[in-house]
């Protein structure tokens, strides 16, 4: 049995992984498969509710812009995979390149450095084979236009909670010890080598490992590094360094409907099965159009109108809204963060109930189909596009956020307990880019005889409408950004923390730009790549001695 409570004081390990979310488990499992002994320290317990009594990370400056911490952070075995929607797709090649109109862009690596690990990542996340593009015949003219494509695919994990997929391996693998109820409280340093100090029910201890990997999510890992810097002010470039700055996620919302000239075209926008995996197409701005029009990487979904807006007059959409409004039911259907978005704040329950009563037969039929495909069929369908005869749907944007230094996660000046002050900011450039992307999509749809956009607000109000919708906090990117120079980044191209010989980060927080793609797949690919790096002979020689100076093991 390798899942236990508390840290074994006599343990000596090749790798210590702090945190057991998707990136942490990807690193740990692949290190074990490559012959390294691994200890995983996790503050929470087996299930999310087991970590409910842990102290919060800190406070959010603007709650309207950032998700509540109780749904943005999950401390349990599997971390945020318990609340993860399951969307898988890699970053695009353009995301790694410097762009003149994107502040502080450019990675020290490119897609070719990560792509060899995509197959293992897809197997780890259980999202089928590596197909992230699929042209739709009815949209071929759009794909050929050079500005907008409808070929980009997102894949959806068949098993989302990591313990459900990898629990047996974690229990049975002799190479991994998982320590629940064990909180990393400090990074210590001696001669450039890191040591992790932990606390469990038995008190404090120092983990004996050759390598340490911070995988406590963007906020958790940043918190440990910030606390180290407070004790050692010159570290990471001091307050002028990049640590805790450039906090990003994805901008998300809608300011227009898409109206197809032929209603049947909506079929290409719905979920479909590929390799026994649910996939969906995204409408996206091509790389050449992004450069030509100075648009941040942006994609769109053809989507249902907001569930909480009773004016859609759809019985099934109102039935879904009513179900989600009850927390005990809604949390069984979707993650808590998504549930809160869907139920909104202005709720007219009587109007929703009327929609259901006025459409009883179609509501019952659609409800049965949804319940069957989400809970009886395998794999579970991740979502639905409710068809309508008018061919009108919401067009929802999902876009890269402009990196900006002023968007921060820093230690609160008056907090002795290491509490964070979380200040996620958006800027006018985010809105300008999204409005340009919508206009480009509208022109492309019209010129190719596919349809048109109908905006919710006049042209002069669109940028303000976008800015009013922007919020995130789930993806936690940019805080420990990757780069060549310690003055402008926190980790190098191998995810090693500048100034340390044996401290690494496996997290979305190392991403330099945020892309239109959800970050979990790329974060896990970086973690798998890191595992291979640590298993290389050169890395083993670098970490040939453990934190106490005793020769460390080089194999299980």
Q: Which pair of tokens denotes residue 452?
A: 């048109």
Three-state SS at 291: helix
Given pLDDT bands bounded at 50, 70 and 90, which one contains residue 346? Answer: confident
Unique residue bearing structure tokens 């480009």: 440
Strand partners, 13: 209
Q: Band the pLDDT of 296: cuts 50, 70, 90.
A: very high
> Which tokens is 258 given?
């898409």
pLDDT band at 542 (very low <50, low <70, confident <90, very high): low
Q: What is the pLDDT of residue 544?
A: 46
- Nearest-angstrom CA–CA distance, 173 and 240: 44
- The per-residue pLDDT for 415 is 67
Is pLDDT larger for residue 232 or for residue 361? 232
d(CA 203, CA 226): 23
Domain with CATH 3.50.50.60 in the chain: 3-46+74-85+160-247+473-542
Alpha-carbon distance of 462 to 464, in angstroms, equals 5
Strands annotated E in 142-249: 148-156, 176-180, 183-190, 193-200, 203-206, 209-214
What whole-number distance in Å separates Cα of residue 304 and Cα of residue 320? Answer: 12
DSSP 373: I
Answer yes or no: are the C-beta atoms of 38 and 17 closer than 8 Å: yes
Closest C-alpha to 24, from 527, 549, 541, 554: 527
- Distant-in-sequence, close-in-space partners of 324: CB < 8 Å, separation ≥ 6: 307, 330, 333, 334, 339, 342, 343
User: What average pLDDT score do residues 482-494 get?
Assistant: 95
CA 339 → CA 83, 167, 301, 325, 352, distances in Å?
Answer: 11, 27, 18, 8, 17
The pLDDT > 70 percentage for the chain reads 96
Give the pLDDT score at 436: 98
- Please, which pLDDT band fits residue 337 given cuts at 50, 70 and 90? confident
Q: Which two tokens stand for residue 392?
A: 């009108």
Supply 91's token pair: 């970053």
How many Å from the N-terminal Cα to the C-terminal Cα in the chain?
16
CA 163 to chain centre: 18
Which one-letter DSSP state was computed for residue 378? S
510 vs 496: CA distance, rounded Å: 10
Shortest CA distance to 359 belongs to which of 317, 318, 315?
315
Q: Average pLDDT in the 244-273 region?
A: 95
- Going from the C-alpha of 314 to that of each of 172, 320, 330, 390, 489, the distances in angstroms are 49, 10, 19, 13, 49
Residue 9 confidence (pLDDT): 86
Give the C-alpha separation, 267 to 257, whole Å: 16
Least confident of 262-266, 271-275, 325-329, 397-401: 325-329
Q: Comparing 80-89, 203-212, 366-375, 402-411, which segment has the lowest mean pLDDT?
A: 366-375
pLDDT 10s digits, 164-193: 999 999 999 999 999 999 999 999 999 999
485 or 310: which leads in pLDDT? 485
Nearest to 324 by CA among 365, 352, 361: 352
Query: What digits encode the pLDDT tens for the residues 91-116?
Result: 999 999 999 999 999 999 999 999 99
- What stretch of H or E contains 5? strand 3-5
Note the pLDDT of residue 540. 57
Residue 401 reports pLDDT greater than 90: yes
pTM score, two decimals?
Answer: 0.91
Q: Are 518 and 250 in contact (CB under 8 A)?
A: yes
Integer angstrom CA distances of residue 35 from 15, 119, 163, 505, 553: 11, 20, 21, 20, 10
CA distance 272 to 379: 11
C-alpha to C-alpha distance for 229 and 449, rounded to whole angstroms: 58
Q: Is the per-residue pLDDT at 554 higher than 60?
A: no
Q: Which CATH architecture has domain 3-46+74-85+160-247+473-542?
A: 3-Layer(bba) Sandwich (3.50)
């Amino acid at each position: 049995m390798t899942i236990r409570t508390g840290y074994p004081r006599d343990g000596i390990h090749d790798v210590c992984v702090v945190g057991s979310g998707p990136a942490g488990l990807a690193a740990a499992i692949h290190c074990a498969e490559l012959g390294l002994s691994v200890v995983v320290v996790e503050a929470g317990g087996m299930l999310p509710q087991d970590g409910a009594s842990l102290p919060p990370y800190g406070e959010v400056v603007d709650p309207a812009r950032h998700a509540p911490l109780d749904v943005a952070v999950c401390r349990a075995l599997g971390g945020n995979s318990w609340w993860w929607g399951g969307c898988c797709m890699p970053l695009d090649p353009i995301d790694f390149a410097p762009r003149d109109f994107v502040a502080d862009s450019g990675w020290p690596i490119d897609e070719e450095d990560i792509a060899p690990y995509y197959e293992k990542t897809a197997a780890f996340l259980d999202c089928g084979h590596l197909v992230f593009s699929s042209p739709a015949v009815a949209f071929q003219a759009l794909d050929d236009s050079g500005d907008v494509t409808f070929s980009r695919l997102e894949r959806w994990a068949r098993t989302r909670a990591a313990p459900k997929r990898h629990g047996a391996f974690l229990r049975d693998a002799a190479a991994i010890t998982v320590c629940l109820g064990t909180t990393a409280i400090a990074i210590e340093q001696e001669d450039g080598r890191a040591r992790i100090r932990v606390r469990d029910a038995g008190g404090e201890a120092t983990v004996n490992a050759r390598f340490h990997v911070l995988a406590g999510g963007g906020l958790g890992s940043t918190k440990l590094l910030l606390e180290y810097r407070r004790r050692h002010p010159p570290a990471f470039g001091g307050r002028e360094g990049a640590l805790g700055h450039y906090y990003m996620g994805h901008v998300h919302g809608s300011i227009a409907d898409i109206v197809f000239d032929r209603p049947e075209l909506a079929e290409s926008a719905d979920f479909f099965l590929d390799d026994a995996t649910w996939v969906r197409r995204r409408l996206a701005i091509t790389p050449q159009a992004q450069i030509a029009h100075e648009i941040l990487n942006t994609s769109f979904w053809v989507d249902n109108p907001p569930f909480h807006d009773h004016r859609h007059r759809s019985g099934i959409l109102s039935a879904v809204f009513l179900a989600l409004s009850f927390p005990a039911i809604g949390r069984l259907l979707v993650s808590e963060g998504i549930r809160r978005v869907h139920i909104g704040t202005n709720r007219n329950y009587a109007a929703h109930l009327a929609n259901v009563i006025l459409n009883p037969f179609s509501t019952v039929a659609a409800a049965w189909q949804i319940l069957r495909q989400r809970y009886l069929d395998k794999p579970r369908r991740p979502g639905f596009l409710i068809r309508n005869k008018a061919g009108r749907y919401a067009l929802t944007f999902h876009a890269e956020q402009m990196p900006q230094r002023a968007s921060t996660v820093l230690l609160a000046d008056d907090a002795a307990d290491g509490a964070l002050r979380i200040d996620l900011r958006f800027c006018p450039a985010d809105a300008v880019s999204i409005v340009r992307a919508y206009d480009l999509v509208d022109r492309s749809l019209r010129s190719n005889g596919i349809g048109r956009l109908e905006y919710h607000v006049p042209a002069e109000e669109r940028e303000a409408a976008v800015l009013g919708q922007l919020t995130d906090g789930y993806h936690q990117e940019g805080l420990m950004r990757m780069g060549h120079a310690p003055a402008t980044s926190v980790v190098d191209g191998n995810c090693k923390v500048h100034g340390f010989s044996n401290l690494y980060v496996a997290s979305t927080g190392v991403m330099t730009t945020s892309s239109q793609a959800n970050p979990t797949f790329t974060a896990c690919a970086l973690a798998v790549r890191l595992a291979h790096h640590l298993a290389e002979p050169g890395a083993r020689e670098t970490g040939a001695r453990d934190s106490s100076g005793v020769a460390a093991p080089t194999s299980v």
